[in-house]
Amino acid sequence: EFQARKAQEVVSTVKKQLATGSPASVKQQYDLLKTAAEIGSEEVTADNVLVTKVGSRLLALVVEHCKVVMDAEKDEFVPAPGLDIPSGGGFAKGKGRGGKESYAFLHEIRYSDQKPSATRARQVGTLRLSEELNDRLSEDVRFYAMKLTPKYGPMVIPPRDWESPNNGGYLISRARMMRTRPYPLQKSLLESADLKQIYGGLNALGKQPWKINTRVLDVAETLWNRGGAVAKLISRTDHELLTKEAYFEKRVSEGVSLEEIDREYRKKKVEITKGNRELHSERCSTWYKFENAKELKDEEELYFPHNMDFRGRTYPMSTHISHVGDDLSRGLLTFAGPQPEIGREGLYWLKIRLANLTGQDKKPLEERIHAAEDSMKMVFKVALDPLVEESLNWWATKDDPFQLLATCFELERILSGGESNAYAQTSSLPVHQDGSCNGLQHYAALARDGEGGRAVNLVPQETPRDVYTTVLDRVKAKAKKDAADGNENAVLLLPYLTRKAVKQTVMTSVYGVTAFGAKLQIKKQLKALRGTVEPATLSRVADYAARGTLSSLGDLFKHADETRRWLSGSADAISAAGQPVHWITPMGLPCVQPYVKWQTTCVSSTLQGVRLNREVTETDRIHRQRQREAFPPNFIHSLDSTHMLMCASRCREAGLGFSAVHDSFWTLPAHVPMMNRILRQSFVDLHSRKLLSEFWEHFQLCYPFVEFPDFPEHGHLDLKGVLESDYFFD
Pairing of strands 100-103, 67-70: antiparallel
> Which residue among 53, 211, 289, 503 is the active-site one?
503
List of residues 6+ apart from 560 with CB closer than 8 A: 440, 443, 444, 446, 447, 449, 452
Largest CA distance in the chain: 84
How far is Cα 674 from Cα 668, in angstroms, rounded to an integer? 10
Our measurement of the distance from residue 248's CA atom to the centroid of its chain's CA atoms, rounded to an integer in Å, reads 42
Say if residues 598 and 614 touch (Cβ distance below 8 Å). Answer: yes
434 catalytic per annotation: yes
Say if residues 451 and 465 touch (Cβ distance below 8 Å). Answer: no
> ∠504-509-510 over CA atoms, to 5°?
115
How far is Cα 309 from Cα 647, in angstroms, rounded to an integer? 19
Q: What is the dihedral of CA 490, 496, 499, 503, to 10 degrees?
A: -80
How far is Cα 155 from Cα 151, in angstroms, rounded to an integer? 12
Straight-line distance from the first to the last Cα atom of the chain, in angstroms, rounded to the nearest whole number: 57
List of residues 6+ apart from 308 with CB closer than 8 A: 177, 178, 179, 198, 202, 314, 315, 641
503 catalytic per annotation: yes
Neighbouring C-beta atoms of residue 531, cutoff 10 Å? 7
Say if residues 223 and 213 touch (Cβ distance below 8 Å). Answer: no
Say if residues 50 and 57 touch (Cβ distance below 8 Å). Answer: no
List of residues 6+ apart from 548 with CB closer than 8 A: 475, 478, 479
How far is Cα 689 from Cα 693, in angstroms, rounded to an integer? 9
How far is Cα 510 from Cα 518, in angstroms, rounded to an integer? 12
CA distances from 373 to 411, 419, 511, 605 (A): 11, 12, 39, 66
H or E element that contains 100 = strand 100-103
Residue 360 half-sphere exposure toward CB, CA atoms < 13 A: 20
How far is Cα 72 from Cα 638, in angstroms, rounded to an integer? 61
> Which residue among 140, 434, 555, 726 is the active-site one?
434
How far is Cα 399 from Cα 520, in angstroms, rounded to an integer? 25
How far is Cα 681 from Cα 663, in angstroms, rounded to an integer? 15
How far is Cα 348 from Cα 409, in angstroms, rounded to an integer? 16
Provide the 8-state DSSP code for 719.
Answer: G
How far is Cα 616 from Cα 596, in angstroms, rounded to an integer? 8
> Which residue among 400, 466, 620, 663 is the active-site one?
663
Closest by CA position to 124, among listed 139, 114, 137, 134: 114
How far is Cα 384 from Cα 382, in angstroms, rounded to an integer? 6
**Annotated active-site positions, please?**
434, 503, 663
